[in-house]
């Protein structure tokens, strides 16, 4: 009988230890998830306040531009490659803007960097985009960057290999650094509060926008 009691005690003890380990793992995962949600809420709050437009003054001839230079409307966008809201805009909304507004000559679109400190890969991703631009491959690299699920130095290096981008000076390219820092400073001068931010017709719209919202602003 004592033998079975010992076995029973052992099984109960093992079960209790297993439950404690499981609880600690779940709590750790829960804490991480809460932290992630908290960061997203902070980003969203920064992103969407205020959503009303405010007047700003910015040089529309600085930045990587696509579209007809004679277009009636220029859209300047400040963005961050490690920002999920920017990625969603580029993947879900930008293709329609390109098809219906840029390719038809109605809109000229200007890309400007605004890497945010809370996004650790945003600056080196911008450097990679600028490195690609110097080889005439900005659009191709940009499309890969905004569709990447995750960005770090190893993944960026892999993207460079795919497009045959020279990375010997990627992190030390003074022209890239100067360009990114100038974009960031320009955004700070007009009080960009988060990404994405759009300047259209002399007004800044902070926060992600769908195609219908962009269309309404462009046409009115």
How many domains does the chain divide into? 2
The answer on 80 and 26 residing in a single domain is no
The answer on 29 and 129 residing in a single domain is no
The answer on 107 and 40 residing in a single domain is no
CA distance 51 to 92: 20
Q: Is the distance from CB of 203 to CB of 58 less than 8 angstroms?
A: no
Model confidence at 121, in pLDDT bands (50, 70, 90)?
A: very high
Q: What is the CATH number of the domain that holds 99?
A: 3.40.30.10
The answer on 43 and 18 residing in a single domain is yes
The answer on 116 and 36 residing in a single domain is no
pLDDT at 33: 43
The answer on 92 and 26 residing in a single domain is no
The answer on 85 and 16 residing in a single domain is no
Across residues 176-187, what is the average pLDDT? Answer: 98
The answer on 171 and 114 residing in a single domain is yes
The pTM for the full model equals 0.77
The answer on 208 and 103 residing in a single domain is yes
Is the Cα torsion angle 12, 16, 18, 19 positive or negative in sign? positive
Domain extent, residue 161, equals 54-219
**Residues, the chain:** 220
Model confidence at 18, in pLDDT bands (50, 70, 90)?
A: low
Interior angle at CA 130, CA 124 and CA 134, nearest 5: 145
The answer on 66 and 29 residing in a single domain is no
The answer on 74 and 136 residing in a single domain is yes
Q: What is the pLDDT of residues 83-105, one digit of tens each?
A: 999 999 999 999 999 999 999 99
CA distances from 6 to 19, 51, 98 (A): 20, 67, 73
Q: What is the pLDDT of residues 29-85, one digit of tens each?
A: 444 444 444 455 444 444 444 456 789 999 999 999 999 999 999 999 999 999 999
pLDDT at 142: 98
Across residues 2-8, what is the average pLDDT? Answer: 54
CB neighbours of 74 closer than 8 A, spacing ≥ 6? 60, 65, 107, 108, 109, 110, 200
What is residue 104's three-state secondary structure? coil
Neighbours of 152 (CB within 10 A): 13
pLDDT at 27: 45
pLDDT at 195: 95
Q: How confident is the prediction for the chain on average, in pLDDT?
A: 85
The answer on 143 and 103 residing in a single domain is yes
Name which residue leads in pLDDT, 116 or 32.
Answer: 116
Looking at the predicted structure, is the pLDDT value of residue 172 above 70? yes
């Amino acid at each position: 009988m004592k033998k079975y009691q010992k076995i029973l005690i052992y099984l109960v003890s093992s079960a209790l230890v297993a439950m404690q380990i499981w609880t600690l793992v779940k709590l750790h995962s829960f804490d991480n998830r809460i932290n992630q949600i908290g960061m997203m809420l902070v980003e969203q709050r920064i992103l969407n306040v205020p959503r009303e437009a405010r007047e700003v003054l910015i040089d529309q001839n600085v930045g990587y531009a696509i579209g007809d230079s004679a277009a009636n409307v220029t859209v300047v966008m400040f963005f961050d490659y490690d920002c999920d809201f920017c990625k969603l805009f580029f993947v879900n909304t930008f293709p329609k803007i390109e098809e219906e507004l840029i390719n038809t000559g109605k809109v000229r679109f200007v890309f400007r960097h605004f890497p945010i400190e809370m996004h650790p890969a945003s600056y080196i991703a911008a450097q990679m985009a600028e490195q690609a631009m110097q080889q005439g491959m900005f659009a191709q690299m940009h499309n890969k960057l905004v569709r990447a699920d995750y960005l770090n130095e190893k993944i960026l290096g892999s993207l460079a290999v795919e497009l045959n981008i020279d990375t010997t000076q990627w992190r030390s390219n003074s022209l890239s650094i100067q360009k990114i820092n100038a974009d960031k400073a320009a955004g700070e001068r007009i009080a960009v509060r988060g990404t994405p931010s759009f300047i259209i017709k002399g007004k800044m719209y902070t926060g992600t926008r769908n195609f219908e919202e962009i269309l309404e602003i462009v046409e009115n």
